């Protein structure tokens, strides 16, 4: 039997703090201390990559870089690079446009005061494989007022060597600024991760299967994606129509040329996974079913309805990753339209899947998300995920059939959030992870993301006074009771 553990899902942007958004400073270390006191051995985050004004960590300018918004303002002050600032409201929802404007100004001020630092030069050398391309992309995006790379001058969009060399010379100071910001991010993250690991806490990250078209990744590796002569996608990612949407979901990400990636042993994916396993102790791979088969939609379609299934790389990619990196501590996000072929791929690879308790009720005793149907312990059990309503919100809106089923399993008429957490903890799943909103018993107003809704996501922040000794004690008691 695998070692049992429990953990909390909380993205660092949701931490309280005086700078409009959670950061990788004292607030993150305080949360690590809470996890340790609460007997938790896992901290799950969402992707830590740079975001746009929507704040979505699943739409990023780079699959390798860290989010500048997470750089610790307090450490910049402590290092003498910034003056102490007037604190903002510690737990206000994130206003991304406002936070981004303030943070960029602060980072530029700090950069202007930064002296020679041998550690920065060492960081540049160690991360040169992706850092130089990312920093050049970021500097060019700034030069072209935030335009997508396909709208830049054609010689730069198509990466003509002479044009890239001139841009690297002309934008040398801006490039160095973006490299320095990454240096600060990685320093801060290493401090947080080191503290967590010393406290016996593993950090689980998140790796989206696809990348954004407007990203350093696609711009620098255009031959690895289905693009036309102008760099625009010819086909894009999505999911097919289902019970929830008669037109499916059109995500719009460019699709990989898996045949070309296979020619060099999936080198880009190897480096991407290497970076993820540098940042995290384990990684949840989002939309795992896309590695078995993915939904391909012509880029000129307005919905995902007219797509079709295309075979993914299946085992070949993971064999290449294991050959290069060894055993992979990854979790398959195997939710949604999962076929027997997807389950077989997951099981051949020996990867843990996910079990979501919100999905377990109202359809009879054979529902695969019911704890008595797990069958083995190689699962990560959740109350809900970042895409679900909070458990309190779900309980308030669940159907009559769902609540009747849940009451029978809990054994009492009045069901509370803690009952659902106990079901996750008591299951055979080796890992049990609960969103912080559920630990706090919060309602739908604390929901982090509503898929298919463009506005109002990714802004929730935890109240500064939420993590109390009493809360830690109750969580520890529950963890110990269920051997976690």
Rounded to the nearest integer, the mean pLDDT of the chain is: 96
**Which residues are catalytic, by number?**
286, 333, 387
Residues facing 259 on adjacent strands: none
Could you tell me the sign of the dihedral formed by the alpha carbons of 468, 470, 475, 480, in that order?
positive
| Helices 26-37 and 469-481, packing angle to 10 deg | 40
Query: Which range marks the domain in which residue 134 is found?
Result: 5-481
Average pLDDT over residues 323-347: 95
pTM of the entire predicted model: 0.96
CATH number for 319 = 3.20.20.80
Question: Which pLDDT belongs to residue 308?
Answer: 96
Phi then psi for residue 205, to 5 deg, are: -95, -165
pLDDT of residue 397: 96
Nearest to 3 by CA among 276, 193, 282: 282
Q: How far apart are CA 105 and CA 280, in angstroms?
A: 29
Q: What is the pLDDT at residue 244?
A: 65
- In this predicted structure, the answer to whether residue 1 has a pLDDT above a threshold of 70 is no
- pLDDT band at 393, cuts 50/70/90? very high
> DSSP string spanning 31-64?
HHHHHHHTT--EEE----S-B-TT--TTSBS-SS
Residue 88 has pLDDT above 80, yes or no: no
The predicted structure's pLDDT at residue 262: 98
Q: Count CB neighbours of 197 within 10 A.
A: 13
The number of folded domains in the chain is 1
Q: Which of 350, 293, 296 is nearest to 319 (CA)?
A: 350
Beta bridge pairs of residue 239 = 249
H or E stretch covering 431: strand 431-435
The pLDDT value recorded for residue 352 is 97
The owner of tokens 């954004």 is 212
Give residue-wise pLDDT tens across range 30-86: 999 999 999 999 999 999 999 989 999 999 999 999 999 999 999 999 999 999 876
* Mean pLDDT for the stretch of residues 468-480: 97
Instruction: Please state, for a pLDDT cut of 70, what percent of the chain lies above it.
Output: 99
Q: Yes or no: say if 373 and 366 are a contact pair by the CB < 8 Å rule.
A: yes
Model confidence at 95: pLDDT above 80: yes
Rounded to a whole number of angstroms, the distance between the first and last alpha carbons of the chain is 13
**Closest of 222, 192, 178 to residue 29, by C-alpha:** 192
Does the pLDDT value for residue 242 go beyond 70?
yes
C-alpha to C-alpha distance for 22 and 18, rounded to whole angstroms? 8
pLDDT, residue 453, reads: 82
Rounded to whole angstroms, the Cα distance separating 453 from 429 reads 31
Q: For the residues 181-190, what does the mean pLDDT come to?
A: 98
Give tens-digit pLDDT for 273-288. 999 999 999 999 999 9
């Amino acid at each position: 039997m695998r070692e049992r553990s429990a953990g909390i899902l909380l993205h660092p942007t949701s931490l309280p703090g005086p700078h409009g958004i959670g950061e990788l400073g004292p607030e993150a270390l305080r949360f690590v201390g809470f996890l340790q006191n609460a007997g938790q051995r896992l901290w799950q985050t969402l992707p830590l990559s740079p975001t746009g004004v929507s704040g979505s960590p699943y739409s990023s300018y780079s699959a390798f870089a860290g989010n500048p918004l997470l750089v610790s303002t307090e450490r910049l002050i402590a290092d003498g690079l910034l003056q102490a600032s007037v604190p903002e409201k510690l737990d206000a929802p994130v206003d991304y446009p406002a936070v981004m404007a303030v943070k960029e100004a602060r980072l530029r001020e700090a950069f202007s005061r930064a002296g020679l630092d041998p550690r920065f030069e060492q960081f540049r050398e160690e991360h040169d494989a992706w850092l130089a391309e990312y920093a050049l992309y970021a500097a060019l995006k700034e030069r072209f007022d935030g335009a997508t790379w396909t709208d830049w001058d054609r010689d730069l969009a198509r990466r003509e060597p002479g044009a890239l060399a001139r841009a690297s010379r002309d934008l040398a100071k801006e490039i160095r600024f973006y490299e320095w910001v990454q240096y600060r991010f990685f320093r801060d993250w290493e401090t947080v991760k080191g503290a967590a690991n010393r406290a016996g806490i593993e950090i689980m990250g998140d790796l989206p299967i696809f990348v954004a078209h407007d990203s350093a990744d696609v711009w620098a590796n255009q031959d690895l994606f289905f693009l036309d002569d102008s760099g625009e996608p010819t086909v894009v990612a999505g999911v097919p129509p289902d019970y929830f949407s008669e037109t499916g979901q059109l995500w719009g990400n460019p699709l990989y040329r898996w045949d070309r990636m296979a020619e060099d042993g999936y080198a880009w994916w190897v480096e991407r996974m290497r970076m993820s396993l540098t940042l995290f102790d384990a990684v949840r791979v989002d939309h795992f079913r896309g590695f078995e088969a993915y939904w391909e939609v012509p880029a000129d379609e307005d919905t995902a309805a007219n797509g079709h299934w295309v075979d993914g790389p299946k085992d070949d990619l993971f064999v290449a990753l294991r050959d290069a990196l060894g055993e992979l501590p990854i979790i398959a996000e195997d939710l949604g339209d999962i076929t027997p072929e997807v389950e077989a791929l997951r099981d051949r690879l020996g990867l843990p899947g996910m079990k979501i308790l919100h999905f377990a009720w109202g359809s009879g005793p054979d529902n695969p998300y019911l704890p008595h149907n797990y069958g083995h312990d190689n699962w990560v059990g959740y109350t809900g995920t970042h895409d679900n309503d909070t458990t309190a919100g779900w309980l308030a809106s669940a159907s009559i059939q769902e609540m009747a089923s849940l009451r029978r399993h809990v054994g009492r008429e009045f069901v509370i959030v803690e009952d659902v957490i106990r079901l996750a903890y008591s299951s055979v799943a080796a890992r049990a992870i609960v969103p912080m909103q559920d630990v706090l018993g919060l309602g739908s107003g604390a929901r982090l993301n509503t898929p298919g809704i463009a506005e109002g996501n990714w802004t929730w922040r935890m109240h500064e006074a939420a993590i109390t000794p009493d809360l830690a004690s109750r969580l520890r008691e529950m963890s110990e009771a269920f051997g976690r």
